[in-house]
Structure formats: C-alpha cells, structure tokens
Amino acid sequence: MGVRISDDLKERIIHWYYQDEMTMEEIRDLAHCSLGLIYKVISNYREFGQVRNPFTRRMGRPSTLTEGDLIFLKAILEANPGLYLDEMQEKLAAAAMEWDNDVHMAWEIMMAEYQDPDLFVALDESAVDNRTGQRHEGWAPVGQQCAGQLNPYPGKRSVVILDNCSIHHNEDIQELIVDQCGK
C-alpha cells in the first residue's frame, strides 16, 4: 500500500490539472506521487465531484478512542514513560472498571476548593509483598525526595492522594499519615 496523501493535496492536484492545465507527469513531479494516484484522484473527481470516493469503506477497524481517551493515555505515558504496552492496557482496564460519572462529578466538585497544586502528594506503592512495610526508598525524579515531609493542612504537601487499593484502607496507613502531618 502506498503512502496516503491529504485531501488538501488531492484538491491541489485537481486545481493543477483543470485550472493550471498541467500534465499528469508535471503534477507527479510537483506532488511527489505516482501517476496512478493522480489518475485515481482525477477519476474520483470526475465521477463523484470530490477527490475521494464517498462509497469506499475505510480500511481497518474504526477508532473507538475519544479525545478524552487520548488525553488520558498521554497523561499516563507522561507520568510513567517506561510503561510497556501490557502495563498500559492494565491501567486502562482498571480505569474503565472504576469509572463512574456521578462519583467523578462529586470528586471534581470536592477538588474545586483546592487552588494550590503544591498541597497534594500522590503516593503509590511499586509492589506489595511481605517487605512492603520495610521499604524506606522509592522512585522520584532525580534530585527530589520520593515522598518527602508531609505537613499539616493547609500547608504545602498536606493532602495525600492514594488509589483505591484495599491496603490503603488499612488503619495502619491512616495512622502513618496522621503521624507525619497531623490530621
């Protein structure tokens, strides 16, 4: 299959052919495409009045991703640039199962009161096993602490965000956070 060209270039081919009265060979050299493609564009224009056959089915599966989906994917990749495809699929599947519009709307309303992004500290364990409570190190950008010092609300680094993992509902986790920064 050849390289796809934009509808704009196809329309320009029509202009060159009919208005500028260029030959197909001249158009080929100018547009850097094959004579066959130029012939097909002109043929479509003659038959359908447009550069594309409106009855041709699009090849491949239609995209099911919305603009919001693409923004979500970009955010995941920016936050985790080393993700493998299977890990990304797991994150998407988990997000899809957890999504609830009413809950999300309530969360957005609740979060609207916070104006300063420096209030937040997002924490997540890299893995859970029998050594989880013994870990004293984690991943963070070079030169920055992993979790750093938590502070009492409404100071910077005073609102801790955890995912909905069952281990985060443990009273020990809540006590650990309260010990660090009060209530």
59-111 pLDDT tens trace: 777 777 777 778 888 888 888 888 888 888 887 777 777 667 777 788 788 87
Whole-number pLDDT of residue 14: 95
Q: Which residues contact 139 (CB under 8 A, 6 or more apart)?
A: 126, 146
Whole-number pLDDT of residue 35: 92
Distance separating alpha carbons of residues 57 and 21, to the nearest angstrom: 31
Whole-number pLDDT of residue 132: 57
> Which pTM does this prediction carry?
0.35
Helices and strands: H and E segment counts in the chain: 7, 2
- Collect the ranges in the chain with pLDDT lower than 50: none
What kind and span of H or E run contains 77? helix 67-79
